[in-house]
Amino acid sequence: MRMTDIPFGTTDWSAIEPTTHAGDVGVATWRTRTFGDLRVRMVDYSAGYVSDHWCSKGHILFCVDGELDTDLADGRKFTLTPGMSYQVADGTDAHRSHSAKGARLFIVD
């Protein structure tokens, strides 16, 4: 990842207008900033959330709060708890997430 043309700035995530994205079950609430091709999000998953798709996009994901379970298409399973992260490149390791308890994530993609 190469970040260019982004002047120094701060983000008050509570001031960013949320958008709601339905999962197969539950909702994901995104607060999003975009800097050129770079998308930065604070995402809250409701308790019981299940993603509505398999994702092949690359992400760097940090678990701020709660617990996130991620299944990979090859059968592997991972759980993130606060302070943990995962990273995956575009086009590799299709993944689908769900959260029984809910989670807050900081995501860069």
**Residue 47, phi then psi, degrees to nearest 5:** -60, 135
- Helical spans, DSSP H, in the chain: none
What DSSP character marks residue 15? G
Structure tokens at 66: 């709660």
State pTM to two decimals.
0.92
Residues composing the chain: 109
Q: What confidence tens digit (pLDDT) does each residue in 8-26 have?
A: 999 999 999 999 999 999 9
Q: Whole-angstrom Cα distance, residue 52 to residue 1? A: 27
Residue showing tokens 């690359």: 58
Q: Is the pLDDT of residue 3 over 90?
A: no
Q: Is the pLDDT of residue 52 over 70?
A: yes
Residue showing tokens 């990979």: 72
Domain positions in the chain are: 19-108
| The pLDDT value given to residue 104 | 98
Mean pLDDT of 61-81: 97
| The pLDDT value given to residue 27 | 98
Pick the CATH number of 19-108 from 2.60.120.10, 1.10.10.10, 3.40.605.10, 3.30.2270.10: 2.60.120.10
